[in-house]
Copies of this chain bind each other. A is one copy, B any other.
Amino acid sequence: MDAYRVEPGTKIRLSDHDSAACSPGDRADKGARKMEKLAMALYDLQERLYAEHRHKVLIILQGMDTAGKDGTIRHVFRHMNPQGVRVACFKKPTQPEADHDYLWRVHMQTPGAGEIVIFNRSHYEDVLIQRVHRMVPKNVWSRRYDHINAFERMLAEEGTTIIKFFLHIGYAEQKKRLLERLENPDKQWKLRPEDAAERKLWPAYAKAYEAVLERTSTPWAPWYIIPADHKWYRNLVISTIMVATLKGLDIKRPKAQFDLSDFQLD
């Protein structure tokens, strides 16, 4: 688990990280038995987190197109109670969003007490797509790493636990997944005309992600580089990290809010 955590100050080359890594011992059933246990643990921890109404948890999912952000949400977070779990998708900003600074719409979606919020894409797009497509000049995007660290630090110091997952897939795996979408009529709706052009920018995105991972993995908001070519292994690793992190929060059983001896019923 710690193997996938990015230590602050580490130099990152994505090509040094094996996107197809997995645990050979779990291959037979694709980790199904372990996943079942983890899903139950996660359900239980989330119930207690919700009941205690104290901790706030923010999960950030980033990755190249087809890396499996939607699939992770579907498989890892589906068994939790939707009351207390929320997904926020950050797409092309609307006019009022674009009229504000880039953290404005993000701040509004951060978790409240007892809540787990999953960001499907995030403020990191503002140093990824915006950098790669030169939507803002370098002197603008290059200042943002510090803004982001300061923003996340404030959230953490005010009680938010932040975990950031970079879903790492290989260039060949992306092609496979795009072709799957092209050929399977049930998946064609997921293709966007820009997907092919975006794929041509892979090296530029890789470079932008390396900068994100180097500059914004902090003690208060660490990045994990998740091998994501094998979907089952991706789910297993993310679930394991989630369970360990939530267990570390020391969630207490909430108490009654008043003197129960006063409680009389007819």
Residues of A within 8 A of B (CB): 51, 70, 73-74, 77-87, 89, 118, 120, 175, 178-179, 182, 185-186, 188-189, 191-193, 195-196, 199-200, 253-258, 260, 262-266
Contacts and interface: CB of A to CB of B under 8 A. Distances in A.
Given A185-B253, A253-B185, A263 B82 contact: no
A87 B83 contact: yes
Given A78-B81, A81-B78, A196 B265 contact: yes
Contacts of A120: 83
Copy number in the complex reads 2
A263 B191 CA distance: 9
A265 B196 CA distance: 6
Contacts of A192: 257-258
A20 to B, nearest CB: 20
A78 B87 CA distance: 14
B262 A193 contact: yes
A178 B260 CA distance: 12
Contact of A82 (B78, B189, B265): B78
Contacts of A182: 260, 263, 265
